[in-house]
């Protein structure tokens, strides 16, 4: 077992046995399959490639014509279900036990990598590995009620050797100010700046997947209409904790689902401009990936070139690391693509030489470790008690001392210092520590008693407080050398000659002057009090002692001045209680109260709700009218087509006329062609308007639902607070009170009638063709389509407004 530690957490990994990477081949279905060149053996694992010799090379021709590749399985004409069961199911299931996993799709452009990884979002049955993995993770979570499992996801794109977050378009994420970088630490490789999103349910995970898919960069060329122009890594982070308090460890894992961009032969794809530049970066990164795989397969190599490109650096943990690695190689089955097929199969063979060492990622919870240690400590104390009784020792208490025991030790220490106790009996180590602690306590108490006694007799002035000393000298209480008046030797009180200012005739005047000067100097210095006990020392070297019999008035004056300066006047006025109408003895019926609420407190929300509802109805009416117009245009198009076909058939019967190779038609047929063209143009225009209206209807429906929910919530709060809260608590629920609005328990609320669109949406969710498992998939898909339709409509409105 290996162990690495940082400042907060403990990481443990169980060493596993080394295993080779699993490599599968999936052949893209095609009508022009090269049966003579590509053959499968009966074991369903071996694929043979036969290439005819090139006769142009002459008689002596050493060209290789036959290749044989043995992999883990060949998937030919395989469904998406079979591909997932074969390739990914075991990797995902082991991830919840703490094993990292990586599934990578590799192959030439257009061979079906993205279809294998993501699938088609239009059809639930055609979904790929990625959505099926998410579904399996949440299904396994439901089957493990004894564990608390959290799931997080991230979506990374590597485009032209630059890192991009495909989920940065979410409103709560936003674009990153600093560029993302790849960082390594003892726990592995992670992307600094990549957003990681917590998903509590399957539908949220699908929404994040669809959001990232819409942000991917694609382009079109002769080999593929929708060619991915970047490498994408979708990562699922899993953390599983046991719900039992005795289990202090928990496991973490991550599943990397990698969709690589396809390699291209520029002569076949005929890429130009930006697409050519993207193809260059793609081929370069795939070449570096192959170099890393070759180095990993060579046991004699010490250095693996992971840092040559961003792709290999980001996948450093997956390539030969502590994870279950699976490669899916997508190939064409056509003869024209045989060279690319051979290259892809060679890559798969090299990948099978790479070995990984899957390990369980275990971490230990510090809080649960403390609980377990406390239990273990209690057991050890019990064992000590048993050993003491067997050794005939007196009863020894190993628990922390209580207040009574501490008070007894304090009494022993005091008697020991007074001399009434000759020695203190030693029992155990805790008692020795407490004896020394009580010595410290007694010493501190005696120092405080001495200082308190001196304060009762004298006024203490710190020698470092020059403002206070100057004021005392001016008042005539001390001489120029700092000695008290009548204290010539500086050691005690004696007989001496007092200054002229301290003579009886000048006493009241000097005391008044001293009060004013001392108060003003203290305020100038900003000190809380010149007599603070924090910086005082009782010794005569630092502190002057002024007799309290002479200067009691001075001390009282300083205290009163300090209290007066720190005291602020308190407001005596209090707001008067507002007059409220008397509460009825019985609460009114909710429909009646709801009408009152809409006219009073909820009038503004009700007005907004009505406005949004009217706008929604107006949009629906316009959509209905547009639909009727579209249907009328469609019927007219059909009639025009029939008339045009009739004219063509008459012309063919009568004989066709040509003039310089051009067909001659009569005026009636020409007018029908023009009419049909105009009708199709009108149809397209009306259909686009209908799509825009549907997007607006979806947005307006969202606003109406929000207003309805808020109106009902506010009414319920108002109803409870108005008729069920006791009158003595009415002040608490007012604005500024101790009870926040909405904290009252909710009762049954009056529901507004749902319209046909609401009932249709609910019916659509409950009657899906693929069963209940597809609900989350379709819900996330519908939400994503609604969002993009709304954004498209808003952009169109903004452009129209600018014009």
What values do phi and psi take at 663, rounded to 5?
-75, 135
DSSP per residue, 511-567: HHHHHHHHHHHHHHHT-S-TT-STT--SSTTTEEEEEHHHHHHHHHHHHHHHHHHH-
Residue bearing tokens 């009727």: 628
- List, as residue ranges, the binding site for ATP: 107-114
Non-local (6+) Cβ contacts of 534 within 8 A are: none
Residue 701 structure tokens: 């429906």
Burial class (CB in 10 A: 0-12, 13-18, 19+), 266: middle
2 DSSP assignment: E
Q: Largest Cα–Cα distance in the chain?
A: 154
- List, as residue ranges, the binding site: 107-114
**Bridge partner residues of 259 (DSSP):** 105, 232
180: Cα within 13 Å, side-chain hemisphere: 23
Burial class (CB in 10 A: 0-12, 13-18, 19+), 790: middle
624-659 as b/e, with b when 16 or more CB fall inside 10 Å?
Answer: eebeeebeebeeebeebeebbeebeeebeeeeeeee
What values do phi and psi take at 243, rounded to 5?
-80, -10
Q: How far apart are CA 208 and CA 215, in angstroms?
A: 11
Q: How far apart are CA 293 and CA 314, in angstroms?
A: 14
Q: How far apart are CA 52 and CA 536, in angstroms?
A: 105
**Bridge partner residues of 162 (DSSP):** 159
Q: How far apart are CA 514 and CA 517, in angstroms?
A: 5
Angle, helix 590-599 to helix 603-654, in steps of 10 degrees: 90
Q: How far apart are CA 761 and CA 764, in angstroms?
A: 5
521: Cα within 13 Å, side-chain hemisphere: 17
Helix H, strand E, coil C: the string for 730-765 is CCCCCCCCCCCCCCCCCCCCCCCCCCHHHHHHHHHH
Residue bearing tokens 């395989």: 78
Q: How far apart are CA 92 and CA 109, in angstroms?
A: 27
Question: Considering Cα of 659, then 660, then 661, then 662, what sign does the dihedral take?
Answer: negative
- Tell me the three state secondary structure of residue 192: strand
Q: How many angstroms separate the first and last alpha carbons of the chain? A: 69
330-360 as b/e, with b when 16 or more CB fall inside 10 Å?
Answer: bbbbbbebbebbbbbbebbbbbbebebebbb
Residue bearing tokens 């593929």: 224
The answer to whether 28 and 329 have CB atoms below 8 angstroms apart is no
The answer to whether 292 and 352 have CB atoms below 8 angstroms apart is no
Q: How far apart are CA 521 and CA 541, in angstroms?
A: 23
Residue bearing tokens 């970088």: 181
**Bridge partner residues of 233 (DSSP):** 156, 258
What values do phi and psi take at 331, rounded to 5?
-130, 160
């Amino acid at each position: 077992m290996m162990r690495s530690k940082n400042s907060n957490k403990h990481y443990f990994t169980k060493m596993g046995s080394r295993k080779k990477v699993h490599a599968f081949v999936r052949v893209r279905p095609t009508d022009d399959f090269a049966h003579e060149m590509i053959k499968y053996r009966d074991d369903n694992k071996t694929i043979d490639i036969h290439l005819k010799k090139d006769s142009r090379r002459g008689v002596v021709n050493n060209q290789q014509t036959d290749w044989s590749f043995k992999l883990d399985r060949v998937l030919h004409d395989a469904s998406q279900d079979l591909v997932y069961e074969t390739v990914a199911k075991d990797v995902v299931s082991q991830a919840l036990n703490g094993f990292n996993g990586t599934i990578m799709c590799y192959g030439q452009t257009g061979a079906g990598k993205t279809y294998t990884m993501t699938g088609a979002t239009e059809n639930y049955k055609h979904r790929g590995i990625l959505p099926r993995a998410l579904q399996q993770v949440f299904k396994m979570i439901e089957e493990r009620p004894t564990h608390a499992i959290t799931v997080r996801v991230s979506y990374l794109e590597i485009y032209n050797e630059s890192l991009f977050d495909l989920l940065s378009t979410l409103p709560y994420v936003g674009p990153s100010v600093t560029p993302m970088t790849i960082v390594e630490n003892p726990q592995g490789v992670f992307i600094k700046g990549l957003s990681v999103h917590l998903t509590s349910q399957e539908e949220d995970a699908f929404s994040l997947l669809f959001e990232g898919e819409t942000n991917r960069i694609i382009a079109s060329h002769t080999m593929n209409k929708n060619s991915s122009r970047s490498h994408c890594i979708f990562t699922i982070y899993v953390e599983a904790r046991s719900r039992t308090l005795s289990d202090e460890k928990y496991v973490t894992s991550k599943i990397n689902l990698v969709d690589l961009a396809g390699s291209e032969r520029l002569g076949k794809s005929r890429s130009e401009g930006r697409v050519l530049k993207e193809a260059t970066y793609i081929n370069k990164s795939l070449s570096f990936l192959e170099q890393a795989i070759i180095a990993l397969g060579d046991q004699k190599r010490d250095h693996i070139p992971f840092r040559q490109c961003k792709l290999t650096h980001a996948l450093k943990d997956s390539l030969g690391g502590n994870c279950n690695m699976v490669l899916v190689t997508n190939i064409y089955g056509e003869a024209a693509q045989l060279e690319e097929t051979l290259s892809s199969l060679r890559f798969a063979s090299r990948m099978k030489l790479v070995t990984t060492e899957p390990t369980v990622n275990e971490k230990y919870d510090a809080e649960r470790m403390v609980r377990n240690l406390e239990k273990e400590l209690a057991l050890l104390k019990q064992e000590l008690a048993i050993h003491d009784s067997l050794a005939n020792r007196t009863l020894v208490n190993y628990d922390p001392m209580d207040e009574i025991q501490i008070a007894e030790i304090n009494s022993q220490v005091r008697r020991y210092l007074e001399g009434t106790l000759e020695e203190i009996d030693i029992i155990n180590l805790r008692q020795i520590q407490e004896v020394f602690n009580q010595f410290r306590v007694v010493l501190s108490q005696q120092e405080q008693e001495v200082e308190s006694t001196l304060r009762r007799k004298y006024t203490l002035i710190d020698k470092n407080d020059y403002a206070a000393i100057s004021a005392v000298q001016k008042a005539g209480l001390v001489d120029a050398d700092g000695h008290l008046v009548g204290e010539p030797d500086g050691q005690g009180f004696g007989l001496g000659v007092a200054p002229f200012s301290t003579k009886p005739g000048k006493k009241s005047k000097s005391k008044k002057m001293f009060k004013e000067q001392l108060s003003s100097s203290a305020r100038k210095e900003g000190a809380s009090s010149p007599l603070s006990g924090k910086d005082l020392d009782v010794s005569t070297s630092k502190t002057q002692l002024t007799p309290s019999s002479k200067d009691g008035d001075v001390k009282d004056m300083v205290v009163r001045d300090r209290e007066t300066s720190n005291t602020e006047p308190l407001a005596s006025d209090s707001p008067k209680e507002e007059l409220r109408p008397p509460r009825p003895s019985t609460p009114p019926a909710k429909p009646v109260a709801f009408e009152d609420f809409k006219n009073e407190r909820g009038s503004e929300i009700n007005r907004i709700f009505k406005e949004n509802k009217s706008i929604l109805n107006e949009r629906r009416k316009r959509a209905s009218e547009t639909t009727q117009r579209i249907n009328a245009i469609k019927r007219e198009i059909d009639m025009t087509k029939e008339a045009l076909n009739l004219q063509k058939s008459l012309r063919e019967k009568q004989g066709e006329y040509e003039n310089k190779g051009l067909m001659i038609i009569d005026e009636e047929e020409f007018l029908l062609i023009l009419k049909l063209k105009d009708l199709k143009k009108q149809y397209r225009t009306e259909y686009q308007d209908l799509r825009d209206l549907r997007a607006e209807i979806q947005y307006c429906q969202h606003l109406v639902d929000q207003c309805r929910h808020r109106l009902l919530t506010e009414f319920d709060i108002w109803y409870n607070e108005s008729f069920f809260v006791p009158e003595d608590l009415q002040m608490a629920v007012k604005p500024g009170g101790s009870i926040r609005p909405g904290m009252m328990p909710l009762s049954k609320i009056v529901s507004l009638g749902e319209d046909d669109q609401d009932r249709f949406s609910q019916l659509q969710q409950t009657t899906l063709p693929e069963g209940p498992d597809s609900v989350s998939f379709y819900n996330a898909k519908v939400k994503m389509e609604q969002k993009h339709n709304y954004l498209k409509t808003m952009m169109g409105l903004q452009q129209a407004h600018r014009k």
